[in-house]
Amino acid sequence: MSFDPTSLIAPGVRGIAPYVPGKPIEELEREYGIKDSIKLASNENPFGPGPRARNAIAAAAAEIGLYPDGNGHALKQALAAKHGCSPGAITLGNGSNDVLVMLAEAFLTADTEAVYSQYAFAVYPLAVQATGATARTAQALPSDASMPLGHDLDAMRALVNERTRLVFIANPNNPTGTSLDAASLRKFLATVPTTTLVVVDEAYIEYTDASFPDASRWLGEFPHLVVTRTFSKAYGLAGLRVGYALSHPAIADALNRVRQPFNVNAIALAAARAALDDEAHVAKSVAATREGIAEIKRGFDRLGVRHFPTQGNFVLIDCARPALPIYEGMLRCGVIVRPVGNYGLPNHLRITIGTEGQNQRMLAALEQALSQR
């Protein structure tokens, strides 16, 4: 009897290329037989969580014999106060990745479409393809544009039709670091029909400067706007997996139907709640990131490496030749960065801002790797 599991896979899932995460430190050390490696590959906060979140994690660990609060009441109350919205507008996720997938599950079917940009965050195609919906990718701005490789909202708008249920916009975007201004984003929201939900992914908003558009303020104006946020980046809680969506309550109600009953664990709920009160930790992390960006940009200039503008806690560089050998050269120095060939950028590397010492080590590893050809 022959068994062909591939033919059994749902058509949308069959074509999916699995997500490739940043290389874990333990894996590098096991494979290369080295120690004291650093990872600047997944845009994590090099300081981790602040003291309030750490204390909350320890306290919550004592209670994990019980299921978490499936409605996340305390965290939603705190988020509602922060954003000036009702708790009913909030959907908590096991990372914001989870809410992105819930959006796809709740709004996409095989006869609908979703739009995102070339070089946009890799989770959008994964979430869309799994539903069997048609993904439409808008060409990004060219490499010599004022916002190189950024989202082209006119090109994205041109792909929206009556079958389009979701548009994904990352602002700032990962892996490019590019961003969109308030006027262009608002114009896009105003011209996209309300039969299409526009998801603005603000995973890095804490790192942006004061003039940066905070789309969460526009939820009252645009019923088809969904804003996603995460505790994985500036809040330093990537390992716990917690993020959320802000939306019209009817959209939150739809997401709640596909949400797993206990999708956010008890430790994550407590840590995120405490992290919200630790503004000092976020401020310290953001300040260190800004200094780090200035520092590594000087280093890239010294090495003659092109770097792209960024509003995140990472910088994209163009190695002007295949980046994989450079990535591997850096691995041998114990420094993990992120190749982005899977995004169609085979000459580029995405580098997370670390501590001052980590940034210096990264620059030394890059210099070493560039000299080996």
Ligand X SMILES: *Cc1c(COP(=O)(O)O)cnc(C)c1O
Q: How far is the CB of 242 from ligand X (least distance, A)?
A: 7
170 lies in the binding site for ligand X (CB under 6 A):
yes
H or E element: which one contains 319? none
Three-state DSSP class for residue 20: coil
DSSP 226: E
One residue of 107, 116, 121, 235 binding ligand X per CB under 6 A: 121
> Which of 66-74, 91-99, 295-303, 326-334 is the region at the interface with ligand X (rule: CB under 6 A)?
91-99
Q: How many other CB atoms are found less than 10 A from the CB of residue 134?
A: 17
Backbone angles phi, psi at 316, to 5 degrees: -90, 135
Q: How many residues bind ligand X (CB under 6 A)?
A: 14
243 lies in the binding site for ligand X (CB under 6 A):
yes
Tell me the residue type at 347. Answer: N
Taken as a whole, the chain contains a residue count of 373
Instruction: Report the candidate in 216, 244, 214 with the shortest Cα–Cα distance to residue 96.
Output: 244
Contact assessment for residue 79 and residue 274, using Cβ atoms and an 8 Å cutoff: no
Nearest residue to the partner ligand X, using Cβ? 95
> Which of 52-60, 90-98, 155-163, 334-342 is the region at the interface with ligand X (rule: CB under 6 A)?
90-98
Q: How far is the CB of 62 from ligand X (least distance, A)?
A: 25
- The tokens for 268 are 């994550």
One residue of 106, 133, 203, 246 binding ligand X per CB under 6 A: 203
Sign of CA dihedral 236, 242, 243, 247: negative
Distance (Å, rounded) from C-alpha 109 to C-alpha 114? 10
230 lies in the binding site for ligand X (CB under 6 A):
yes
One residue of 37, 178, 232, 247 binding ligand X per CB under 6 A: 232
**Residue placing its CB nearer to ligand X in the complex, 91 or 96:** 96
Give me the residues paired with residue 339 across strands: 349
206 lies in the binding site for ligand X (CB under 6 A):
no
Q: How far is the CB of 10 from ligand X (least distance, A)?
A: 23
**Residue placing its CB nearer to ligand X in the complex, 152 or 370:** 152
Q: Which residue has the tokens 């004291």?
A: 36
- Enumerate binding residues for ligand X (CB under 6 A): 43, 95-97, 121, 170, 174, 201, 203, 230, 232-233, 238, 243
